Each structure stands twice: as structure tokens, then as C-alpha cells.
Structure 1
Amino acid sequence: MERLMFLKSINISFLPELKYIYYEEPLLSETFFPSLESLNLSNCNKLRGWWRMSDDDVNDDDDGNSSKIRNLSFPPCLSFLTIIECRMLTRMPTFPNLDNGLRFLDSNMETLEATLNMISSIEFPPLSKLKHLYLGKVDLDMQKLPVNWVKNLTSLEHLGFLKLPDQTFQEIGTWFNEDFNYLPSLRNIHISSCLDLKSLP
């Protein structure tokens, strides 16, 4: 599927038994979804990610396969990415060029962490072009994220939080307390269904 030259949108949702999305080798950036603009992965609780197509049995501990797919990025034309309730998704190409919208809800944070930790391997900070970010039902482990990664979100205009625990909000509060230059383009904040939220930063 990744070699379909004119494919612009993919919607994979409510496939409870789906575990793998296979790709063929050689895995080259110029032939990996070269025209893709929108990707939606939703409610696929068993989905682990992209796997090399072969006749062998799938090996969940194949670190070589994992590192290869993580070293590949979606094309710069990818503008919208939605990942919802994909709790086992860990092996996925990064998306540093995403420029319009990212919805990341109730899914494995390794996927997002891999992109945010690309600072030293690309010309510009990851997600620095992103305009809309929505996070929900996730645990932001700041120890696994680069220092001051929020400063890179210089184009972010809309920020949304859904069903986040109070502890996560305490971490988020540091985004606004340490430097007034954080998120210079931010225009809207939306907070919803955070039932144990005790205070706002």
C-alpha cells in the first residue's frame, strides 16, 4: 500500500483484530506514501505497527525491523494525523513535518516520543509547523521527552486536552510558567472531561 503514488488519504478504524501493516523492501522515503496528506488510525487496539513483509513468522522482538521503520518519516505532504485508541502501536514512521493537525488520544506514547526526540537528526525542530494539537487520555512522561520540547511548537494555534489526569496537568503547567515566549502563536485552548482536575496553571 505504501507505494501507491497518488494515495492522499488513509482511514483505518474499528478493526479490532488488526495487528500489522506490512511494507515491502527496499524501504525508501521517496516511495513511502509519497502523496499522503491525511492518516487516521482509530480503535485498533491490537495494532502494533508497520512490519516487513516476508514469509517468516512475525517476530514482535525484531529490533532491527523496529529501528528501520522508526528511522523513516512520513512525507512532508502529510498534514493531518489522528491516532485514537491504538494502545499497542509502537512501530510507526515518524512525522516531524506534520503541519496542520495531530489528534493523539488513548494511545501508546512511544509513537509521539519517537517524533519529538528527532531534534538532532533533522534540520528544524519536530512539529514546529503544527497548528492544531489535541491530547487525550495519555501519560506525558517528561523524562522521555526532550527538554523544552514545547518551545518548538512555534506555529501552534489550537491546543486541546481531553480526559487527562491532574498529575499530567501539573506537568503541563510548567509550559506556561517558565517562559512567556512558549507557544507564541497559540490562540485557543480547549479542556474537556478532566474529571480529577483540581487546578489550572
Structure 2
Amino acid sequence: MKDSDAMQLLKILHPRQNLKALAIIAYSGACLSNWLWSCANLVELQFFGMKNIQCLAALEGFVSLKTLYIASMPKLDYIDYKGCSSSTNFFPSLKELIILKCGRLRGWQREANVQNTRNNEWHHSLPPFSHLLSLQIHDCPNLSCMPLFPNLVTYLRLTDSSIKPLADTLSVSSIGASTSHDMTPPLSMLKSLYIGGIDIDALPEKWMQNLSSLKYLSITGFSSLGKPFRHMRNLSATLKELTIGEFQDYNLQCQDLCCLHSLQTIKFSFCEHLRASPEWICDLQSLPTVHIVSRVRVK
């Protein structure tokens, strides 16, 4: 189908305005139809495999939206931001955001700032995703400017992508009410973190201090095993499951893990050079389960 035919087909579809869920898949047109923004009651919105879309118009007008899925859009460069009268009006219902395989995506920007965007002068005063509970970002190496996500609770996955969105979020001093006793560090409510394939040698101590509620942690693709776990003592009372994956270090040294008194399960996956069970595992007295999964050679 020609791109022009695809655009015309999408234009004539024009669903009812009370539509709750919409998925646009493998659409080959260069822009979306205006009727999309009249579907104000959308709760779930998916964009997948739209190979020619370079910009998504502002989406924060979908005030009922709970799930937003953007994937496999190789030409997508940015997502527009019109501006809100208040940060509470910015995606007020959004709970889950998934962005996958958008290699050119650089982030959110004001609609009138296209030229500045090309000069890498990004708008950095976006309101946060205040109600977002779950976030997945995979294979988005250029995604560097996006709203902060300090209140995540359920899940954060950041793999093969820029570390900047996470670093920016964790650099915020506090979240919550204005009174000091109500303020909490960003991501202090997060329960599950999956991080891998990013350009960083270690998880900074300040980050680990913030992750005070973390129960499940998966770290993959670091060249050295010791550095990522240097500050694990900050998770000693909460962490229940740890996954170590795709490490290249021959001699695993993770003495810092011995302080994880709440740890119940540790998993090794795709650690090809793991020759023996690390000696420090014996020191984890609370550990009832060890999984060694796929392509590991343990003697």
C-alpha cells in the first residue's frame, strides 16, 4: 500500500469519540489523522511499527489515558509538548508507559521549538509523570529529554538506552508535599528495577540510597561484576530477588552482597565465564534458592 493510500484509509476510519482503546499497527503514512485527538476518552493507546512517522503530536490532552505504548518507530525523532496550565494536568491518569525500539527518538519538546531541537537545545522544564507507576524503555539510545518519573512503584526497565532519564529523575532532591517531613526521595517507592546494557560502570551510592523499597533487582551487561554492586548494603532490609546476567568478568567478587539479609533468591543468567559458584554465596544465610540459567559453565 502506498503511503498516501494508508493516510487516506486512516482518515476515513474515524472511530467514535467514546473509544476506550486504540492500536495503530504497521501504518506506513507519514502523519496521523486529526481525528485521533478527538478521541478524548482513550484509556489505552498503542503505536507500533509506524515506520515513517517522524513526530508525534502532543499526547497530554488524553486526560483519561492509563497506558501508552510506543514501539518500533525507527524514524520517530520527538514527541510534541504543548504545555499545561499546571503539572497536575500533564497525563493525570497515565500509569504505564512503554517505549521500545525507537532508535532516533530524542524526547519531548515544545511544538514551537523544532529548530532549537535540531541544534540540540532541548526544553528541559517538562512537568513530571506524577502518576506513572510502571515504565519500560528499551533500545532507545538517544532518548535524553523526557519528563521525570519520581513516583514509580511497580516496575522500571531501562535497557540498551540512554541513562540520562534515570539520572535526571534521581537528581531531584525530593518529591511530595512542601513540608520537609512529607518529602521522599525520587524512586523511593519503586519495587522492581531491571537495568542493563547502559553506559555506566557502577550504580552510584546516592541512587542506591534512594531505592529504599526495592525488592527485585536485575542487572545485566556490565563488563565488571564488582562495581555495579558496590553499594548493595543500602538494600539490605528490602531486596528479595537478585538477577545477575551477561557478565564478562571471570572472577566474580561480590562481597557487598553478603549484607543482603532479606535476599531469598539469586539468579545467574547468560554468564558464560562463570566457572564456579561464588564463595560469598555461602555467606548469604537467608538464601534458600540459587538459579543458574542457560549458557553457563559451572564446575
Smaller-chain TM-score bracket? 0.7 to 0.9
Corresponding residue number in structure 2 for 1:40 = 98
CA distance in 2, matches of 1:41, 1:27: 26
Q: Tell me the number of residue pairs that the alignment of Structure 1 and Structure 2 aligns.
A: 190
Of 189-198 and 78-87, more deviation after overlay is shown by 189-198
Give runs of aligned pairs for residues 157-176 of structure 1, distance below 5 A. 157-166=215-224, 169-176=225-232
TM-score by length of 1: 0.85
2:239 corresponds to 1:182:
no
Give runs of aligned pairs for residues 43-192 of structure 1, distance below 5 A. 43-54=101-112, 57=115, 59-61=117-119, 63=121, 65-69=122-126, 72-75=127-130, 77-119=131-173, 123-140=183-200, 147-166=205-224, 169-176=225-232, 180-192=233-245
Give the Å deviation of 1:114: 0.1
Give the Å deviation of 1:41: 0.6
CA distance in 2, matches of 1:126, 1:109: 16
Show structure 1 runs of 4+ deviating over 6 A.
Answer: none
| Residues 31-70 of structure 1: per-residue CA shift (max 9 Å, x gap) | 211100000011101000001112853533464x42212x
Q: Is the 8 A contact 1:22 1:52 kept in 2?
A: yes
3-state SS in 1 of match to 2:194 = strand
The one of 69, 72, 80 equivalent to 1:14 is 72
Give the Å deviation of 1:171: 2.1
CA distance in 1, matches of 2:175, 2:94: 22
Q: One-letter code of the match for 1:199?
A: L
Q: 1:165 to 1:102 in 2, by over 3 A?
A: same
Give the Å deviation of 1:106: 0.8
Q: One-letter code of the match for 1:126?
A: P
Q: 1:200 to 1:86 in 2, by over 3 A?
A: same
Give the Å deviation of 1:18: 0.5
Q: Is the 8 A contact 1:173 1:200 kept in 2?
A: no
Q: One-letter code of the match for 2:200?
A: L
TM-score by length of 2: 0.58
Q: Is the 8 A contact 1:150 1:183 kept in 2?
A: no
Q: Is the 8 A contact 1:98 1:127 kept in 2?
A: yes
Corresponding residue number in structure 2 for 1:4 = 62
CA distance in 1, matches of 2:174, 2:188: 14
3-state SS in 1 of match to 2:117 = coil
Q: Which has the higher contact order (CA 8 A, sep 6+)?
A: 1
Q: 1:96 to 1:183 in 2, by over 3 A?
A: farther
3-state SS in 1 of match to 2:124 = helix
CA distance in 1, matches of 2:219, 2:113: 43
Q: Is the 8 A contact 2:80 2:109 kept in 1?
A: yes
Q: One-letter code of the match for 2:248?
A: L
3-state SS in 1 of match to 2:125 = helix
Instruction: State which structure, 1 or 2, has the greater radius of gyration over its C-alpha atoms.
Output: 2
Q: One-letter code of the match for 2:243?
A: H
Of 133-142 and 11-20, more deviation after overlay is shown by 133-142
Give the Å deviation of 1:132: 0.2
Structure 1: any 5+ residue segments left out of the alignment? none
